[in-house]
Amino acid sequence: MIYTVTLNPSVDVILEVKNLNIGDKNHVSDEFTLPGGKALNVSRVLSQLKIPTIATGFTGGHQGRFIEEWLDKENIMTDFVNIEEENRTNIKLLLDNEETTINSKGPNISHYEVDELLYYLSRVGEGDTIVMGGSVPPMEEKSDKDIYSRMVSIAKANKAQFIADIPAEYLPDVIKEGPILVKPNIEDLMEIFGTKIETIEDMDKYGKKIIEMGAQNAIVSYGKKGSMFFCQDGHSYISEEIHINEVVNSVACRDSMIGGFIGTLVRSSDYLEAYKVAIAAATATAEVLDLPTREEIEKIIPKVVINQFS
């Protein structure tokens, strides 16, 4: 079973505006409300690909009920830890084909609630995969900020696999434990290695260092132009840019990438094919306000071209 763990899920309010006048009244031309969260989105993409998952993490209040009810309507199994505080609301403004996102910090999580989630995850075993994604909400006890490392310890003790798409500050400790995939972007690499990355050659150099640190595979995105894939055979691969008429959703692309990758890997064990579907899922996501359907992903797959870089 694939368990997706979203520590800081949200209700995302998407507002489309014709003009934005700071300090003055503005009018919304269209609006949408969706559940948000990196690993939560992975469950939603995997559902489209007919791969069962269990979505877990922290939910509370009216916002938490909205998230769980939405997933239930999509026939996604859920088993969240109910928390005392309410989940956050994030705002995304759409103006002239540009996205501006305002993210709330999230609810305060108690030590008891952390322990309850970790106890729940102790059920994973050999053959299972934990997908960890997104920010860490405020913790009542500072020691609980290491929750991702503790989740990795549980996975390894139970011989389960794990995937991480988490903030750069937590990545080094997780990478050295051998995740089957990590999904940093260029900014994450620059933070991890304390350097500038200005060329494809730079990205190739530091992407390979992620593998040397312990990751089995890594996908590194570089904005709208594409991504690079690094695997344990020592090679790197690059995807050619796919033309998109209008980018309306860049925030969830990396979540869809992970869904496309793991959803293909569990069926084929072919890492390059998994990367190909990951690119298709991300590209299809860029063209829709929410997440793509299976048909929308499959339509992109023939357009994906992957070349060995080094």
Per-residue pLDDT tens digits of the chain, which is 310 residues long: 999 999 999 999 999 888 888 888 888 888 999 999 999 999 999 999 999 999 999 999 999 999 999 999 999 999 999 999 999 999 999 887 778 889 999 999 999 999 999 999 999 999 999 999 999 999 999 999 999 999 999 999 999 999 999 999 999 999 999 999 999 999 999 999 999 999 999 999 999 999 999 999 999 988 667 899 999 888 999 998 887 777 766 778 889 999 999 999 999 989 999 999 999 999 999 888 889 999 999 999 999 999 999 9
What confidence score (pLDDT) does residue 57 get?
A: 98
What confidence score (pLDDT) does residue 221 get?
A: 86
Tell how strand 161-165 and strand 181-182 pair up: parallel
What confidence score (pLDDT) does residue 224 get?
A: 67
- Residue 278 has a CB neighbour count (10 Å cut-off) of 31
What confidence score (pLDDT) does residue 98 get?
A: 79
Specify whether the CB–CB gap between 192 and 172 falls below 8 A. yes
Specify whether the CB–CB gap between 183 and 168 falls below 8 A. no
Q: Which residues pair with 238 in a beta bridge?
A: 228, 307
pTM: 0.94
Query: Half-sphere exposure of residue 252, counting CA atoms within 13 Å on the CB side?
Result: 29
Among all chains, which residue has been given the structure tokens 């994973």? 124
Q: What is the DSSP string of 181-216?
A: EE--BHHHHHHHHTS---SHHHHHHHHHHHHHHT-S
The topology (CATH level 3) of 169-309 is UDP-N-acetylmuramoyl-L-alanine:D-glutamate ligase (3.40.1190)
Give Cα 67 to chain centroid, integer Å.
Answer: 16
What confidence score (pLDDT) does residue 292 get?
A: 94
The domain limits of the chain are 1-36+47-59+75-166, 169-309
Catalytic annotation present for 146: no
Specify whether the CB–CB gap between 2 and 162 falls below 8 A. no
| Torsion of Cα atoms, 129 then 135 then 139 then 141, to 10° | 70
The topology (CATH level 3) of 1-36+47-59+75-166 is UDP-N-acetylmuramoyl-L-alanine:D-glutamate ligase (3.40.1190)
What confidence score (pLDDT) does residue 19 get?
A: 85
Q: Which residues contact 200 (CB under 8 A, 6 or more apart)?
A: 222, 228, 238, 309
Closest CA to 253 of 224, 214, 285: 285
What confidence score (pLDDT) does residue 211 get?
A: 97
SS3 assignment for 236-273 = EEEECCCCCCCCCCCCCHHHHHHHHHHHHHHHHCCHHH
- Three-class SS state of 153: helix
173, 255, 270, 290: the active-site residue: 255
